Amino acid sequence: MKITLAQLNYHTGNFATNNKIIIDAINLAKLEGSELIVFSELAVCGYPPRDFLEFKDFILQCESSIVQIAKHCEGIAAIVGSPSVNPKIEGKDLYNSAYFLADGEIKKVVHKTLLPNYDVFDEYRYFEPNREFAVIEYKDLKIALTICEDLWNLNENPMYINCPMDELIKQNPNCIINIAASPFSKVQIETRQQVLQNNAIKYKLPLFYVNHIGAQTQLIFDGGSCVLNANGEIINELKYFEEEIKNFDLSIENNKLKILNCNEIFLTETKLPDKYKDLESALELGIKEYFRKQGFSKAILGLSGGIDSALVLYLAAKALGPENVKAVMLPSQFSSKHSIDDSLALAKNLHVAHEIISIEETFNALQLSLKKQFEGLPFDIAEENMQSRTRAVILMAMANKFGYILLNTSNKSELAVGYGTLYGDMCGGLSVIGDLYKTEVFELCEYINSNEEIIPKNILTKEPSAELRPNQKDSDSLPDYDLLDKILFHYIEERKGPQEIIAFGFDETIVKRILKMVNSNEWKRLQAPPVLRVSSKSFGFGRRLPIVAKYLN
């Protein structure tokens, strides 16, 4: 018997495209003699569909798609993720389901039991949890079919009161199939592998896992679909950050399933996490998918001579092609010569078109317009923000005139403490590095330069500055980034309170100052562009804090 895993890139709500790639994969698998093909969670509609699930027409299109796909399942069976309607009066209107299709029709529908409702997941808002358990019997296969989170309750502190596999194992299955929509983060690959291994080991069954690939706005899906043997060894993996369809030959004797065409040496083909390579791949994929799925092709950004805009320019050129990216230098009377020189060198290295547009005249005109109102008052943040907003006006004007999308270049450290100008350098259609702390920005740039100097060395070594007043440095307003980022990580990712962070040995005054800045700037972050998520807790819909709260203020 042959089984096919289809790791594909779906587009939320794009039923025509999703149907086509699913049906094309089914037809290809049939040609190669496969008897079962497996697709990922909510493949029909894309993940996450969010409040589209509240539209009756959206659900009708999901149902129509399943019927259409089923017609192609003659001589082959398929497992496909899609919402399904709850026929009962009580409970939520929908289930998150896996359809088993064969002989041209729907044979069985299995529902997701464990509905994640934390971080970026909000499934209990829409779906009713499953309460009935049955394996799927197909030819010699007895499948324990599970959906993503259904395998994630094997830990010392279970989040849920039940475990679907504890019920399914009672029916003597000979394999586990898990269809998933598991987004990328810096820790997710290793964590996911451990979860899958723990399940295979506990239930002593081979496991087939199929994940999404691609990106949907903030969420990036890295793939990593894989096959494990009953000893919990990952014996084959599909590609990361790429689409792939792969066949596996099976033999089944006395209800024992053996995978024949896999390398049985643990980790010979398995991905070991490579933090910086993965981050680069994820961010490139996030940019590429945001543009492709929205029908955009060209990006513009302000190139300041600093490390943040340098990294964003590099990633954009890799993702979209240098011919589709425009870098604009916008110097003022406070800009240093090396900032322009460094920017020009970077644009040349990346073969990106660039322009220099001075904002000095425009800034002076704004000051003249406000001369009466500002008379007698010192130069302060008002004048600094005027420069930033002048740059944003010019960049947005060029974006409107020539069809560019403005990329935001703020990092997570700046977003956290409000070190940015609303309607100025916080503008943009997409925040590329808004989930990377400043120290991580430096580390990723060092990685990019590991083989050749792409980002000019001076950009990496000079002290960070917004250059909005004479001799300005970030350290004038903020603690050292090494210290700042450690405290921010404890507070944002680990959700530690001030006393817990102080107990790690940090100065009490600095901790309280930083945490107050974070909480006081929630209103600014609410208006920031969507942030590509690469951490376990990014700014955006995965972190929901009140704006007018008093905590730590």
**Residues designated as active site:** 41, 112, 148
One-letter amino acid of 88? K
Counts of helices then strands in the chain (DSSP H, E): 17, 20
Contact 502, 508 (CB under 8 A): yes
Residue 165, CA distances (Å) to 131, 134, 159 in order: 12, 10, 15
Give the tokens for residue 222. Answer: 């890295």
The single residue listed with the structure tokens 């029916």 is 171
Q: How many CB atoms lie within 10 A of CB 129?
A: 18
Beta strands 36-38 and 2-7: pairing type?
parallel
Q: Name the strand (E) or helix (H) holding 94.
A: strand 94-102
> For residue 241, is it left (φ>0), alpha (ψ between -120 and 50) or beta?
left
Determine the Cα–Cα distance for residues 466 and 387; give it in Å rounded to an integer: 10
| 204 DSSP 8-state letter | T
Please name every residue paired with 251 in a beta bridge, in sequence order, or none if there are none.
258
Contact 94, 126 (CB under 8 A): yes
One-letter amino acid of 240? Y
Determine the Cα–Cα distance for residues 200 and 441; give it in Å rounded to an integer: 37
Determine the Cα–Cα distance for residues 437 and 478; give it in Å rounded to an integer: 14
Q: How many CB atoms lie within 10 A of CB 118?
A: 10
Determine the Cα–Cα distance for residues 111 and 82; give it in Å rounded to an integer: 10
Determine the Cα–Cα distance for residues 124 and 116; give it in Å rounded to an integer: 7
Give the tokens for residue 262. Answer: 């896999």
Where helices occur in 274-359 by DSSP H, the ranges are: 275-294, 307-320, 337-350
Determine the Cα–Cα distance for residues 62 and 407; give it in Å rounded to an integer: 34
Sheet of 105-111, strand order: 105-111, 94-102, 77-85, 36-38, 2-7, 244-253, 256-259
Residue 10, CA distances (Å) to 20, 181, 497 in order: 10, 11, 39
Half-sphere exposure of 81 (CA within 13 A, CB side): 30
The total number of residues shown for the chain amounts to 553
Contact 517, 168 (CB under 8 A): no
Residue 364, CA distances (Å) to 367, 386, 398 in order: 5, 10, 21
The set of residues, in sequence order, having a beta carbon less than 8 Å from that of 73 and lying 6+ positions away, is: 26, 101, 102, 103, 104, 105
